[in-house]
Structure 1
Amino acid sequence: MGEERSGSSFPARGLLMVGEPHVGAYALAARRRLELLSEASARIGTTLDVRRTAEELAETAVPRLADFVTIDLPDAVLRGEESADPLADLRRTVVHGVREGLPFTPPGKRMDFGPTAPQLRCLTSGEAVLEPDLEAAAGWLAQDPEHTARLLSHVHSLIAVPLLARGVVLGIASFYRAGGSFGDDDRSLAQELATRAALSIDNARRYTHERTMVLALQRRLLPHGLPDQDAVEVAHRYLPAESDVGGDWYDVIPLSGARVGLLVGDVVGHGMLSAATMGRLRTAARSFAELDFPPDEVLTHLDNLVGRLDREDPDGKGAGVIGATCLYAVYDPAAQQCLMARAGHPPPALVHPDGTVTYPDLPAGPPLGLGGLPFDAGEVDLPEGSQLVLYTDGLIEDRHRDVDVVLEQLRTALAHPERAPEETCQAVLDTVAPAHPHDDIALLVARVHALDPDRIATWELSADPALVGEVRASAIRRLTDWGLDETAFAAELILSELITNAVRHGAAPIRVRLLYGRTLICEVSDTSNTAPHLRRAASTDEGGRGLFLVAQLSQSWGTRYLPEGKVIWAECGLDAA
């Protein structure tokens, strides 16, 4: 009868020895190898992190196979790429053993193996290289005599194994024993362990490569800077999920009438499809917003687009079902009001000037892509200094936290109206965001600024051509009071054309408004829904050149529709002559 060693992790059992006296020992060794390989299948590759997978290989091999393990990977592999010359950028990635303090090259250092080193020979041959006695391993001793001499007092035998998978060289694993020598069975076992680990490392490398590409795509599709406007002071953050990248986005969109649109959205799912879909939805949402559609209509158009994208799924198998949530808000600094609508998205947080934090009761609306369901908008007052906080569900929804508790944490973090938006963003991420986010987080904080009432001028008139001159003259006097004499000439011609068009082709009452901010905005509204169109007048036409003149004198112009009527607006630079 034979028994296992008392220090073994295997339970002691009796073995019946039949035939040769060493049969029992061979059977026990074979069982240990099989059990180690079985354990390796469960322990190696539990994550999709290249470095962690390499650490799992070392932890599995120590102490069952080796006393110490070092793993060297090329920088390219750590980045998720294939290395063109693995020996040129090898870096010590893992050092693990039964004790610490040995003179191995520490993690993070570049590795340069000499031509006679076992590590280089294993890469050249593609097979494990066994050095049963390092004191007699001339090639190993010669690569760095001073360093190897220090190691010899701690290690006795070495197996160097290449990490190869799918034809890609991923690195080198070196197994050391302090006492006793490795044998051929140990070399075969080390080779099998390295082969299994290499597949897991390559899976992690491929995932890292894809995640890097998705992140790069998403960052290219997100805004690279914030537009110049005076309505809001904005700060933003985007935090990708640890495990996979989703399709969260945000945007800040200058609109006519000194207004600004604030947008956050979240595409369902993760990966390249979600990131690409996010880019398409953000572009479409911006286009719909710049057409001056109100928030509920923007969401309706996006809903139709998402449904169309889903129907056009090239796979046709339903695996690419597209869905998204979205919140769109339009702030008007002249009225100090904000019109918002959401499509299955978390409600915004509103920070009042006194520090009170509320979550406006907005109609939830269905997620984008369901089709055929209405969206409703809600309006809230936003006095000077208020902050509007928009975010995606990754900030508040987590499998380990209660949403209501998180919303209270968010309320506490936001209850500091004196903070600048940048400080508010950072405070929210520091105190509310999960430590290890499982979903992307997009955060947008906007402090609103009202337009000074002294910089707003309005007139109302009936559809009487005789009143056009009076309003024009009054507007010029107001421009003079504002010190905009250089802009007055262009503004006078624009107002004359727009008011005359409204009198001739519109419907009373007619309203004229000047907004003096970063630019001078001239607006003329009436109750008709018929909008003028820029056209090329023939040389014999007596009219038709007014809008052409407006387009030439203004930086931009357009039409904004109201529930009853429309607004024709033109924006002039303050340096206009």
Structure 2
Amino acid sequence: MERRAVDDQEARSVGKVVGEALTARANVDEHGTVTGWSEGAEYLLGYVSAQILGRPAASLLAEEPTTSDLPAFSELPRWHGTLGLRHRDGHRLEARVLAHHRTPDDGTRDWLLVSTVTGAQPHRDDEALVRRGLLDSPCCATSVYDTDLRFRRSSRSGQDSLGLSDDDMRGLRMTDVLADPVGEEVERRMRRALETGETQYMENHARAPGETREHAWSVHFYRLEDPDGRVLGVASTGHDMTEQYWARKRLQLIAEASTRIGSTLDVTRTAEELADVAVPGLADFISVDLLASLDGLPEQPPEALMAGGRLALRRIAHQSVYPGSPEAVIAPGEVDEYPEGSPPAESLRSGRAVLYQVTEPAIADWVAEDPLRSSRIREFGFHSMMTVPLTAREATLGVVVFARHRHPDPFQEDDLVLAEELAARAAVCIDNARRYTRERSTAVTLQRSLLPQRLPEQTAVDVAFRYLPAGARAGVGGDWFDVIPLSGARVALVVGDVVGHGIHAAATMGRLRTAVRTLADIDLSPDELLTHLDDLVGRLALEAEGVERTAGNAREGETTGDVGATCLYAVYDPVSRRCTLARAGHPLPVVVSPDGTAELLAVPAGPPLGLGGLPFEAMETELPEGSLLTLYTDGLIESRDYDIDDGVSRLRRVLAGPAVSLDVLCDTVLATLLPDRPADDVALLVARTRALKADRVATWEVAPDPATVADARKNAADQLAVWGLTDAAFVTELIVSELVTNAIRHAEPPIQLRLIHDRSLICEVSDASSTAPHMRRARTYDEGGRGLLLVAQLTQRWGTRHTTKGKTIWAEQSVEYS
């Protein structure tokens, strides 16, 4: 009871000076004028705020200090010491003062001065606090506080971390000692521990005023009680976990790098990802430079990198803790030259990562030759840097420079190890991206070289086309298209898609396109052509499997063993306006009639090429003049955003809409259905049908009698006169005579003669026999065998095509339009 009475008496002695009033606080601006005055300051010196605000702070001193005794306050972040102050009533008092140099929210600079009102004498409960707080522990920083959360005692490590002695801190709160958010958070945790009795925990990473470098602390706050359960105060124990903290941060950076670096096969993006991971976790500024010699050239050994004593590097990416990377001396994409002996050049030459302090001769000699780089180092306060070479698969790619200026701690050896790990991961990804870019460029070049460079001249259809290589990781595929003029003014339209991606798929596409043109040249029907093409794809698959077994695994991104393809082959005849189509696993074509109705043509489904043994079926339909026939690959209608049926519906809607031209229509289709970077190759072929006018075609039935050959010649000559082609009459009569005579002698009726006046003059003789004539060289005394040889010599080209009812022998002559 006696002890409790003493406590009550002490509380009454301080009267209203409790809580905030136990600390005297004053604000002084850079000119030495008092701008703030607390209730505690009023209690300490006797002045109310109205009497002191606006006065010089020096007027509060008991004696004016000499200039030699004053430190350079403007350069100090904090000051503490004992000041002799003059009370309002005139007596002199000694006060221990802690001053913080601050920058408030308004951007001005001022000083916050704090001092304890109750003095710095030890409290009579300090011994109990020391016993309960175990201040003699050498393994952690321990401090004890009273129930007002004011310092009473600290261990030696606690005093060292804050840079203040017990006498400097006694009676102050943590918010007085640390004038930043950390102090506020500490007080909040202590107050909760004091009120609830529950141990509180926090971690922080910062540089305390008494430390030369940043430390990470693991701090526990717990309430102190005596054996009787009386609350004495609160204690904090802080364990220095800096090494564990940095080890954890390094592991986090490595884990983050494994998921973030290399998300795309793009060199620039990969370099940017490395920079984003390293800043600010490891460095304040980073630059990623690749050898300028890699721009389209093969890798070079390190000893061959220096040209004329200087190393040319292209800036691919950089990143900074400051927006816009103001520290950079060159912009991304620009080339800078580094002299021999400079840190980047030495790292690349030696192949080793090196850690530098800016004051070292290697840095000083380098930047001495570069005024801009030197000024940036001074302006931003760079103090340490690391240069790490980028090497992958024994290829030298470039160098990464890590630098610190805002982070107070210089790089350590552990940081160098982490930088090497990040650079190694990035180098592999950059090399993959570079190789992919190079191989994709090669594949695109090959793909485009194997596609039609320009469409052949023909009058059956007006055609527009588009080809887009894939923009995703899959790479270039094997999509192709073709327009092939056929006999009888007909035209073949082809669109196909080879399974797989890469150079192999592009090469396979070229072989299939050549095969289709060869098969089309012998006038095979669409279903028969696909049957022969199916056999070819099967043989290619067997060849590829043999190559793969011999060479081992296929190269990354390439397919070899799985050779397959889809194809749609259509033949349009402008004379009859009939179109015959067959498909092998390919999407259905779209036909837009002249009235604007867009429909899918129900071409019978056929298996993809390469399966073998399954039949293909053709369909024939009539297309009015002006109809729009659209062939495409599945990359046009497949998307992650919608299913194939939706893609087909969107395609039909676009095709049915108005368009200025076929080229504009193609652009509209691609813009409507495709993203900026399509996931697969796209081939699109749009053809508007034409019809050959009836007056450009003449047909006669020929009786199987040799006497009718003369009538056939006369009919042909008369028709040529009508067309104004009398100059071609002699050759045409000879061709008609030979072909009709052969049909009468060697074929079966009915026999038909047809002349077509298109871009060329076409003479056709059809019969019911399936036997095709063969051109041969007649011997000296042979009576026959010279007719087809003369036809071949006198015409531009000739050939035979089989029909469902026999065959047609045709010959073309070059003539001028009339």
Q: TM-score normalised by the shorter chain: which range applies?
A: over 0.9
Q: State which drifts further: 171-180 or 62-71.
A: 171-180
Between the aligned partners of 2:803 and 2:457, the Cα distance in structure 1 is 25
Counterpart position of 2:317: 94
Counterpart position of 1:251: 482
- For 1:188, which of 403, 410, 417 is the aligned residue? 417
1:49 aligns to 2:266 (yes or no):
yes
What one-letter code is carried by the residue in structure 1 that aligns with 2:391? L
Report the secondary structure of 1:292's partner residue.
coil
The answer to whether the 8 Å contact 2:216/2:241 transfers is no
Counterpart position of 1:132: 357
TM-score, with length taken from structure 2: 0.66
Counterpart position of 2:426: 197
Report the secondary structure of 1:113's partner residue.
strand
Please list every run of 5 or more consecutive structure 2 residues that lacks an aligned counterpart in the other structure: 1-139, 142-201, 208-214, 221-237, 554-558
1:511 aligns to 2:746 (yes or no):
no
The answer to whether the 8 Å contact 1:116/1:142 transfers is no
Report the secondary structure of 2:204's partner residue.
coil
Counterpart position of 1:221: 450
TM-score, with length taken from structure 1: 0.93
Shift of 1:43: 2.0
Shift of 1:563: 0.5
Shift of 1:436: 2.7
- For 1:148, which of 374, 384, 402 is the aligned residue? 374
Provide, for residues 463-495 of structure 1, a one-character-per-residue CA deviation record: whole Å limited to 9, x for no partner.
Answer: 011111112111111111111111111111111
- For 1:353, which of 587, 591, 594 is the aligned residue? 594
What one-letter code is carried by the residue in structure 2 that aligns with 1:427? T
Matches within 5 A, 1:7-86: 24-75=241-292, 77=294, 82=299
Between the aligned partners of 1:145 and 1:436, the Cα distance in structure 2 is 43
Report the secondary structure of 1:273's partner residue.
helix
Counterpart position of 1:18: none
Provide, for residues 322-347 of structure 1, a one-character-per-residue CA deviation record: whole Å limited to 9, x for no partner.
Answer: 22110000011111111101111001
1:458 aligns to 2:683 (yes or no):
no
Q: State which drifts further: 335-344 or 116-125.
A: 116-125
- For 2:663, which of 422, 444, 450 is the aligned residue? 422
What one-letter code is carried by the residue in structure 1 that aligns with 2:610? G
What one-letter code is carried by the residue in structure 1 that aligns with 2:672? T
Question: What percentage of residue pairs aligned between the two structures are identical?
Answer: 54
Between the aligned partners of 2:354 and 2:567, the Cα distance in structure 1 is 58
Between the aligned partners of 1:76 and 1:36, the Cα distance in structure 2 is 31
Between the aligned partners of 1:374 and 1:7, the Cα distance in structure 2 is 77
The answer to whether the 8 Å contact 2:731/2:794 transfers is yes
Q: 1:59 to 1:214 in 2, by over 3 A?
A: same
Between the aligned partners of 2:206 and 2:485, the Cα distance in structure 1 is 72
Shift of 1:287: 0.9
Counterpart position of 1:109: 334
Report the secondary structure of 2:783's partner residue.
coil
Counterpart position of 1:392: 633
- For 1:558, which of 799, 803, 814 is the aligned residue? 799
Counterpart position of 1:271: 502
- For 2:436, which of 182, 203, 207 is the aligned residue? 207
How many residues align? The count is 570
Shift of 1:240: 1.0
What one-letter code is carried by the residue in structure 1 that aligns with 2:348? L
- For 1:411, which of 617, 630, 652 is the aligned residue? 652
Shift of 1:89: 5.2
Q: 1:118 to 1:67 in 2, by over 3 A?
A: same
Between the aligned partners of 1:558 and 1:428, the Cα distance in structure 2 is 39
Shift of 1:499: 0.8
The answer to whether the 8 Å contact 2:206/2:216 transfers is no
The answer to whether the 8 Å contact 2:460/2:490 transfers is yes
The answer to whether the 8 Å contact 2:628/2:686 transfers is yes
What one-letter code is carried by the residue in structure 2 that aligns with 1:393? D
Structure ID, larger Rg:
2
Counterpart position of 1:339: 580
Between the aligned partners of 1:363 and 1:434, the Cα distance in structure 2 is 31
The answer to whether the 8 Å contact 1:79/1:205 transfers is no
Q: 1:547 to 1:113 in 2, by over 3 A?
A: same
Counterpart position of 2:398: 171
The answer to whether the 8 Å contact 1:59/1:96 transfers is yes
Shift of 1:575: 5.8
Please list every run of 5 or more consecutive structure 1 residues that lacks an aligned counterpart in the other structure: 16-20
- For 1:301, which of 521, 526, 532 is the aligned residue? 532
Provide, for residues 124-170 of structure 1, a one-character-per-residue CA deviation record: whole Å limited to 9, x for no partner.
Answer: 22222333226973133224213430343125132222111122111
The answer to whether the 8 Å contact 1:132/1:183 transfers is no
1:5 aligns to 2:236 (yes or no):
no
Provide, for residues 8-65 of structure 1, a one-character-per-residue CA deviation record: whole Å limited to 9, x for no partner.
Answer: 9x998569xxxxx998433332332233223222222222222111111111101110
Q: 1:487 to 1:418 in 2, by over 3 A?
A: farther
Report the secondary structure of 1:409's partner residue.
helix
Q: 1:377 to 1:22 in 2, by over 3 A?
A: same
Report the secondary structure of 1:380's partner residue.
strand
Provide, for residues 222-267 of structure 1, a one-character-per-residue CA deviation record: whole Å limited to 9, x for no partner.
Answer: 1222111111121111111122111111111111111111101111
Between the aligned partners of 2:651 and 2:276, the Cα distance in structure 1 is 41
